[in-house]
Chains A and B, each alone.
Chain A
Amino acid sequence: MKKTVFALISSITMLSVAMAGCGAPGQSSSGEQSQGENSAASDSGSTEKKVLRMNFASEPPTADPGLAEDSTSGAVVRATFEGLTRLKDNKPIESAAEKIDVSEDGLTYTFHLRDAKWSNGDPVTAQDFEFAWKRVLDPKTAANYSYQLYYIKNGEKANKGEVSLDEVGVKALDDKTLEVKLENPTPYFLELTAFYTYFPVNKKVVESNPNWANEASTHVGNGPFKLVEWEHKNKLAIEKNENYWDKDNVKLDRVEFSMVNDSNTELQMYENGELDWAGAPLNSLPVDVVPALKEEGKVITQPIAGTYWYKFNTEQPPFNNVKIRKAFAYAINRQAIIDNILQLNQLPALGAVPQSMSLNPDGYFKDNDVETAKKLLAEGMQELGISKLPEITLSYNTDSNHEKIAQAIQDQWKKNLGVDVKLANTEWKVYIEDLHQGKFQIGRMGWLGDFNDPINFLELFKDKYGGNNDTRWENAQFKELLNQSALEKDPAKRKEILAQAEKIFVDEMPVAPIYFYTDSWVKQDYVKGVQVSGLGDIDFKWADIEK
């Protein structure tokens, strides 16, 4: 009997010891709560604090602009840093730079910086920019997005270790003047300087502490907000940066981000008043509730620069025949897929370049053109000398939305062309590897623009074995036009050249475009001025709460 009692007592003691060992969730937050009360108390008397409550779908992988490569990190970095330019209403405006001179040949940019300070009080200098860009290009930094800086003279060579970093075309002439030399006249260069890989970092801070970007206490930025709290995996908060040059235009006092991954939970928190925003661009709205939300007229939808397409493997029959590729592309009823499956007002893609940067808004062919498709299929089969198509497999990565779309298209091909297509899905990373290695016949892929220029959606098909082509398609004329566009300084002429290139691309149809992406979200009525750019980037600088 004694032993039982002993066993019970000992197991209870063990449990309680274990409990004591585990950090109760209350402990860490209690400190912050009192802090919050203090600051609130000090502000009492003045107006109520303007706090925006947002949600991240995941922990931001980094708060270092040089290493960021995803939209969550991008949101943090865009709020806490400031590039030479910043996008406002999709146009780059001067930000850290006060004045920008461009040379006649479009190859040299001189940026005159305004007097601005880092969040720790240091002045923002041209040397900080030079340091930041060279740091990204340094192979030792191993920044995945370093190729964003390949437009700078010798940027690519330095990153690949062919020339030293000193030969990169960025130089601080003095504390406030930054001179940048480019490889080619790049008409969209000022859009690029608004991209986070081009943001500065505080040279002194980075050199003295390599882990500076990992915690809120050591993080230093020059943006409208500063990072004040980062409880990894749980929450992150930014507050207005009093050292910011344009602080008078920053209305919010604080933005708080929780990190709830589940989109249903996020929406419920929004509906319960615990969040001010739910859905894109930081997460997505759960598809099942979208019709109901739309009926209430709450959903805000905006097209973003992204194309969802099916890539053909143009080296394998039957898709080595252009007519068969076209037949498959024409026989898809895109509008039906958007209306019945996607439901978020996506736009049918009848070209490669999305609407926001469109070269030809009417598209290059007709959606659901069954008659032409049938004719082309017959002709194509004749050209190949076959009376029956070989077995065709449509691949996609495992995901319920991709599956629904694939099933719909499988059905449309069956009905419209009388072709049986098999479906195959694999896990994401396995899928990408297969696609990059050409182990597919038709494969799904999405492509999002990094900056607002059509070249984003064409350049990847320039080289047969280019890292993101996958289709093994190549066309000399297309390539030549892209090369021309890189040298053309006149924007109108350049647009024309790119439109010609897109036309060739659609005529050759190495991919069947399906739809252009949109971002959809719901927000509380008092939230104003949050900018979601045509690229799907979120910016809080001009945000406000008007209760």
Chain B
Amino acid sequence: MFRYLGKRILFMILSIFLIVTATFFIMKAVPGGPFTSEKNVPDEIKAALEAKYGLDKPVFQQYLDYLKGVVTWDLGPSFTEKSSTVNQIINRGFPVSAYLGIEALIIALFGGIILGIIAALKHTKWPDFTSMVIATIGLSVPSFILAAFLQYFFAIKLGWFPIAKWESFKYTVLPAVALSATPLAFIARLIRSNMIEVLSQDYIKTAKAKGLSTLTTTVKHAVRNALLPVITYLGPLLANILTGAFVIERIFGVPGLGREFVISITNRDYTVIMGTTVFYSIILVVLVLLVDIAYTLVDPRIKLGGTGKE
């Protein structure tokens, strides 16, 4: 187990290194820089700006400096936002994105699992159809339309929640719901199809034959097995949802990290592009590892790498 973990962590560091390198050189290859603007300034001013931010050095030197910055977690100043460093941007944006993301994740998980179980238990009856209609709508309606609908209905018509901004808990509800729609629908469908499969297995019949109640059979035997694919999905989903959602953040005026990621590319804000990419990739690889570990806990049939062979 420890050996396996050590190996995995080594690979994680290697993949982050590769991501940093690839992002850095692709970013440099894109035409236009942070100081390209509608109003072209004299070359001397541009040179002074580049000198200030170290962009006058050879590209390879910049790359080495950047690697050093990543290791010491000093990601440099933002070019466009002169009042902030990249560390500050991440420290401010990530908690917001994570708060919103986890709220959305909780809604998606509980909503999706409940919806999926109901659908499976009442297979081909009306609760099944209702659940699946909800799930299909959740998957197929783009989040910005759902967001506009939520704003219109719950904020303007009913006045239950504010339209936008980020101040207290009630400001988080609409964006969280809008963000959770797609994963909720996906989880519901996953649970449903797995439950249907599991429910036809022999051991469920055995359990029923033993005289266990439907509730016990469902919770103890069926749901546990049906959860496995959800856990696989959870890793990337969590990474995705934690690192922010550009569209939702934009529409609801949420000061999260998602919009930094997108806007920094438009602005060619090199340090922010690199900083957010590195940060995201770290979260992603760590979560993938955690998911693998979680597997063994849920399903004793799975053993972590190599131990079986040795």
A residues near B155, Cβ cutoff 8 Å: 268, 272
Distance of A268 Cα from B51 Cα, bound (Å): 44
A residues near B171, Cβ cutoff 8 Å: 25
* Interface SS majority for chain B: helix
**8 Å CB contact of A233 from B92, B151, B268, B294:** B92
**8 Å CB contact of A29 from B30, B151, B167, B253:** B167
A residues near B51, Cβ cutoff 8 Å: 139, 142
Decide if A142 touches B52 in the complex (CB within 8 Å).
yes
Given contacts A4-B224, A232-B84, A467-B41, contact A429 B36 (CB under 8 A): yes
B residues near A290, Cβ cutoff 8 Å: none
Decide if B252 touches A265 in the complex (CB within 8 Å).
yes
> 8 Å CB contacts to B: which residues of A128-146?
139-144, 146
- Decide yes or no whether A75 CB sits under 8 A from chain B: no
Stretch of A10-18, A358-366, A416-424, A523-531 lying at the B interface: A10-18
Decide if B99 touches A268 in the complex (CB within 8 Å).
no
- Decide yes or no whether B172 CB sits under 8 A from chain A: yes
Decide if B151 touches A268 in the complex (CB within 8 Å).
yes
| Distance of B295 from chain A, by nearest CB (Å) | 10
A residues near B45, Cβ cutoff 8 Å: 142-144, 146-147, 159
Distance of A213 Cα from B81 Cα, bound (Å): 12
Decide if A259 touches B300 in the complex (CB within 8 Å).
no
Stretch of A61-69, A97-105, A243-251, A486-494 lying at the B interface: A61-69
- Decide yes or no whether A173 CB sits under 8 A from chain B: no
B residues near A430, Cβ cutoff 8 Å: 30-32
**8 Å CB contact of A269 from B30, B36, B164, B224:** B164
**8 Å CB contact of A265 from B40, B163, B220:** B163
- Decide yes or no whether B80 CB sits under 8 A from chain A: yes
- Decide yes or no whether A292 CB sits under 8 A from chain B: no
Decide if B163 touches A268 in the complex (CB within 8 Å).
yes
Which residue among A61, A67, A140, A468 has the maximum number of chain B CB atoms within 10 Å of its CB?
A61
A residues near B95, Cβ cutoff 8 Å: 21-23
Decide if B98 touches A272 in the complex (CB within 8 Å).
no
Decide if A7 touches B297 in the complex (CB within 8 Å).
yes
> 8 Å CB contacts to A: which residues of B24-42?
30-33, 35-42
Decide if B148 touches A264 in the complex (CB within 8 Å).
yes
- Decide yes or no whether B68 CB sits under 8 A from chain A: no
Given contacts A7-B298, A25-B96, A144-B49, contact A160 B42 (CB under 8 A): yes
A residues near B35, Cβ cutoff 8 Å: 144
- Decide yes or no whether B183 CB sits under 8 A from chain A: no
Given contacts A25-B171, A61-B81, A429-B36, contact A19 B99 (CB under 8 A): yes
Per-position 1/0 for A148-159, Cβ under 8 A of B: 000000000001
Distance of A274 Cα from B95 Cα, bound (Å): 26
B residues near A213, Cβ cutoff 8 Å: 83
Decide if A25 touches B166 in the complex (CB within 8 Å).
yes
Decide if B294 touches A26 in the complex (CB within 8 Å).
no
Which residue among B49, B164, B250 has the maximum number of chain A CB atoms within 10 Å of its CB?
B164
- Decide yes or no whether B162 CB sits under 8 A from chain A: yes
Distance of A83 Cα from B55 Cα, bound (Å): 33
- Decide yes or no whether A214 CB sits under 8 A from chain B: yes
- Decide yes or no whether B121 CB sits under 8 A from chain A: no
| Distance of A312 from chain B, by nearest CB (Å) | 18
- Decide yes or no whether B259 CB sits under 8 A from chain A: yes
Distance of A387 Cα from B172 Cα, bound (Å): 65
Per-position 1/0 for B199-237, Cβ under 8 A of A: 000000000000000000000100010000000000000
Distance of A146 Cα from B36 Cα, bound (Å): 16
B residues near A11, Cβ cutoff 8 Å: 294
| Distance of B244 from chain A, by nearest CB (Å) | 12
Given contacts A3-B298, A22-B99, A260-B165, contact A15 B106 (CB under 8 A): yes
Decide if B99 touches A25 in the complex (CB within 8 Å).
yes
Decide if A7 touches B294 in the complex (CB within 8 Å).
yes
Nearest to A59 among chain B residues (CB) is B81
| Distance of B262 from chain A, by nearest CB (Å) | 11
> 8 Å CB contacts to B: which residues of A229-250?
231-235
- Decide yes or no whether A121 CB sits under 8 A from chain B: no
Which residue among A22, A29, A264, A467 has the maximum number of chain B CB atoms within 10 Å of its CB?
A22
Nearest to A431 among chain B residues (CB) is B32
- Decide yes or no whether B82 CB sits under 8 A from chain A: yes
- Decide yes or no whether A172 CB sits under 8 A from chain B: no
Distance of A445 Cα from B224 Cα, bound (Å): 60
Which residue among A25, A146, A274 has the maximum number of chain B CB atoms within 10 Å of its CB?
A25
Decide if A25 touches B172 in the complex (CB within 8 Å).
yes
| Distance of B220 from chain A, by nearest CB (Å) | 7
- Decide yes or no whether A161 CB sits under 8 A from chain B: yes
- Decide yes or no whether A433 CB sits under 8 A from chain B: yes
Distance of A10 Cα from B298 Cα, bound (Å): 11
B residues near A193, Cβ cutoff 8 Å: none
| Distance of A536 from chain B, by nearest CB (Å) | 14
Nearest to A219 among chain B residues (CB) is B83
B residues near A271, Cβ cutoff 8 Å: 156
**8 Å CB contact of B84 from A19, A160, A214:** A214
- Decide yes or no whether B48 CB sits under 8 A from chain A: yes
Nearest to A234 among chain B residues (CB) is B255
Decide if A260 touches B36 in the complex (CB within 8 Å).
no
| Distance of B93 from chain A, by nearest CB (Å) | 7
- Decide yes or no whether A206 CB sits under 8 A from chain B: no
Decide if A232 touches B32 in the complex (CB within 8 Å).
no
Decide if B31 touches A429 in the complex (CB within 8 Å).
yes
A residues near B96, Cβ cutoff 8 Å: 22-23, 25
Nearest to B298 among chain A residues (CB) is A7
| Distance of A264 from chain B, by nearest CB (Å) | 7
Distance of A259 Cα from B260 Cα, bound (Å): 14
- Decide yes or no whether A356 CB sits under 8 A from chain B: no
